[in-house]
Amino acid sequence: MLSDTSKRKLLLVMTMASLSPTMGSTLLRGADLDQSSHHPTRRHLPQNEGILNLKRINDERKRKNEQRQDDQWKSLSKEEKKKLLAELKIEEEAQQQKSTGNLNEKVQNGRVNGNQLAYLQQYFHQIDGDLEMQSSQLDDVDEDVTWQDLTKEEKKRVIAMMNEELKFHNEVGDKLTKQEKKDKMKEGLMQGSSQFVNGDSGEDNHNDSETAVGADEFVNNNSKPGKLTVDEVMNNNSENDGKENEEGMTQNSNQATNNNNLANGFLNPMPQLTFNDNGSANDAFVSSNSNVPNDAPIAYGKCKGCYSFAKTLTDPSIQLDAFDPTSDLQWSMSGLGWSIVESSSVSGDCYEGESCIASGIRSHATDSVTLGEPTYSNLTLTTDDEFEGGVLTFQVSVQDGLPMPNEAFFVTVDDKLRLAPISVDGDKWVEYSVPVGVGKHTVTWSHAYNPLGLEALPPRKGKMGLQMDDLRLSPFQRMANQGFEDDNAKELLMTSDGDAVWRLDDGASNSGSYSILASSSDISRGSGSSDVHFVLYSEDGGTLKYKISTSTTAPRDDFAILLNDQLKEAVFGLMPTFEYKSLDIPMGKVAVTFRHRKNPGNLSAELLGALGKVMTEGFTRLDDVRFEPNNKR
């Protein structure tokens, strides 16, 4: 049998060996995220009838448009195809050389600092990959190359070339007045819908034609007397058919309020905590992509009862121990004992109040320690059978860091590592969290000297010393939605700040009437951001889902997500519809930041100008934000 010391040493060695030195932030583009198995296009999802009708009509239009373009492409000779694709390749290579040349000139003239250069190298690395992929099909052209073999960007450019050089435009249409063109377009739109509903034979079906007219109004989003808009259809279906999410799970909007006596038997007396779960119209998480164009108007109006950001985030926690001279909790210790210390004896004072608790491992306490075995200072708290679970948060401060292999600080629950060895700068209080499940558990905070049991240690600068303060307990987060539809939507409380705040927008949405929007034009400085903040508490982590429509171009602007102030992913590009995205959330307390970034690399205006003109508008829209915990009990 292994002793407790041997167990902890083995656990720490295994943990350190599993830590990857390459862990860090990842920069992802929208296309990378579409490979997720959770993407809506990769599974069958429930949708209401209004959205299904709209989707069927749009799919049929896309199919007919693709067929028409494919027929045009097939009508070209092999030589004509070669000519068009060769010109396309030359254009791409010229654009790449121009961009690279501009960057090289800036570097040679010393007008790019190290951070800017690293950011641009990442940007051009991605662009080079795109150009290589787009040009791969242009070397060997034969008559079997179909329209579908071309990329989306290649299709756009080839269509422009065909219209210009091969005269695939409607010469009669060029002679029409603007009003005549509008009438023709409207007539064609109506006929296209009727043909789809009535079938290719064009047989009369007045009822179905009426449906097609309504569907066209959905696409144009123009409300007319006697016709339902998208919002009305969705609201009616929501009332009749219930609310659906990505995985077909129906939320009960009338769940009883759950009174969480979080520390029943854990701390006596204990105030009752309630976790609001009244439900709202925002429970609906519509799975289909909205067909609102990316250039939809940006609305600035306000309305009574509409969604608004909270001024501050409500702290759901209760304080279990402030480590005043006396404590209400039944603590136990092993190894070098912990002790209550006054603020005057702590570098930088305690986090809260006049006292906090300090580890027994200090500079003078280890002078007589024999190397070859780790030395621990353990502080243990045991919950009882009636404990209802939650996230423990606490503040940690060290005097001069925790350099490995000299020192380590970690937390275990039932001898399982729940907080890996941390790194804390000196004279700075940092918050950490550990989830603890329902029932009886043993939670141990361990400060170790020579945790690997080495025979010799490298010289250490500064003093040893670690303090802990402000132990709190927060309830676990249930499944929560935020659809930004009304001011009663409090399931996922959010705030907004930064160089410019996000705002409610009715120009486009994935579901309902509203989304939230941030725009680079609202940020007056050359580089800045607009942030949305909210906090999640979970036992085993979960999945954050959201719908995004962005019109951004790196390095000018993008959309990023930060977890506990650490960048986890960034997205940029032109999204013609709202796209489904998801992100894994770790266990414990996680502060989430949605950030629209303007010029995140802080590049000069001259350098940005040298990168060329962009076709994007510099905004990000978000809708239907949802958190699904892995443990849903």
DSSP-based three-state secondary structure for 408? strand
Q: Which two tokens stand for residue 320?
A: 């279990």
* Assigned domain for 119 exists: yes
More confident of the two residues 156 and 396 = 396
Is 225 exposed, middle or buried, given 0-12, 13-18 or 19+ CB atoms closer than 10 A? exposed
For the ranges 210-219, 289-298, 475-484, the maximum mean pLDDT occurs at: 475-484
Comparing 55-64, 237-246, 327-336, 484-493, which segment has the lowest mean pLDDT? 237-246
- pLDDT tens by residue, 447-466: 999 999 999 999 888 888 89
Residue 162, pLDDT above cutoff 70: no
Average confidence (pLDDT) over 470-482: 94
* Assigned domain for 203 exists: no
* Assigned domain for 232 exists: no
- The pLDDT, as a whole number, for residue 64 is 79
- pLDDT tens by residue, 75-117: 888 787 788 877 777 876 776 676 666 666 655 555 555 555 5
Residue 143, pLDDT above cutoff 60: no
DSSP string, 471-516: EEEEPPP--EEE---STT--SS--EEEESS--EEE-S--SSSS-EE
Q: Which two tokens stand for residue 569?
A: 């992913």
Residue 292, pLDDT above cutoff 50: no
For the ranges 242-251, 263-272, 436-445, the maximum mean pLDDT occurs at: 436-445
pTM (two decimals): 0.58
Residue 155, pLDDT above cutoff 60: yes
- The pLDDT, as a whole number, for residue 68 is 78
* Assigned domain for 383 exists: yes
Where a domain ends, among 420, 453, 474?
474
Where a domain ends, among 165, 195, 222?
165
Give residue 200's identity as a one-letter amino acid code. D
Comparing 181-190, 509-518, 574-583, 587-596, which segment has the lowest mean pLDDT? 181-190
pLDDT band at 210 (very low <50, low <70, confident <90, very high): very low
Cβ atoms 581, 90 nearer than 8 A: no
- The pLDDT, as a whole number, for residue 259 is 37
Q: Which two tokens stand for residue 194?
A: 């009727």
Residue 4, pLDDT above cutoff 90: no
Q: Which two tokens stand for residue 70?
A: 């494919």
DSSP-based three-state secondary structure for 77? coil
DSSP-based three-state secondary structure for 188? helix
Residue 287, pLDDT above cutoff 90: no
Percent pLDDT > 70 in the chain is 58
Q: Are residues 289 and 350 in the same domain?
A: no
pLDDT band at 342 (very low <50, low <70, confident <90, very high): confident
Q: Are residues 404 and 522 in the same domain?
A: no
Q: Are residues 488 and 623 in the same domain?
A: yes
Cβ atoms 511, 234 nearer than 8 A: yes
Q: Are residues 329 and 468 in the same domain?
A: yes
Cβ atoms 428, 489 nearer than 8 A: no
Q: Are residues 465 and 512 in the same domain?
A: no
How many structural domains comprise the chain?
A: 3
More confident of the two residues 266 and 426 = 426
Handedness of CA 169, 175, 180, 182 (dihedral sign): positive
Q: Are residues 581 and 618 in the same domain?
A: yes
Q: Are residues 483 and 447 in the same domain?
A: no
Average confidence (pLDDT) over 55-81: 77
CA distances from 412 to 68, 238, 322, 418 (A): 64, 46, 21, 5
Geometric angle at alpha carbon 9, from 7 and 10, rounded to 5°: 65
Report the C-alpha gap between 515 and 531 in whole angstroms: 15
Report the C-alpha gap between 214 and 225 in whole angstroms: 11
Report the C-alpha gap between 303 and 208 in whole angstroms: 37
More confident of the two residues 477 and 218 = 477
Q: Which two tokens stand for residue 360?
A: 């027994």
Q: Are residues 384 and 446 in the same domain?
A: yes
Q: Report whether the peptide linkage leading into residue 555 is cis, meaning its omega lies within 30 degrees of zero.
A: yes
- pLDDT tens by residue, 17-51: 554 443 333 344 444 444 444 443 333 334 455 55
Q: Which two tokens stand for residue 90?
A: 């030359």
Round the CA-based radius of gyration of the chain to a whole number and report it.
30
Q: Are residues 468 and 550 in the same domain?
A: no
- The pLDDT, as a whole number, for residue 239 is 40
Q: Which two tokens stand for residue 229?
A: 């808009």
DSSP-based three-state secondary structure for 613? coil
Which residues on adjacent β-strands are paired with residue 391?
435, 474
- pLDDT tens by residue, 566-588: 999 999 999 989 999 999 999 99
Domain with 134 in it: 77-165
Write out the H or E segment, with its range, that includes residue 57: helix 49-74
Is 243 exposed, middle or buried, given 0-12, 13-18 or 19+ CB atoms closer than 10 A? buried
Geometric angle at alpha carbon 405, from 400 and 409, rounded to 5°: 60
* Assigned domain for 102 exists: yes
Domain CATH code at residue 462: 2.60.120.260
Q: How many CB atoms lie within 10 A of CB 95?
A: 13
Which residues on adjacent β-strands are paired with residue 342?
355
Question: In 165-286, which ranges are E strands?
Answer: 258-260, 273-275
Q: Which two tokens stand for residue 286?
A: 């519509």
- pLDDT tens by residue, 359-395: 999 877 677 777 889 999 999 999 999 999 999 999 9
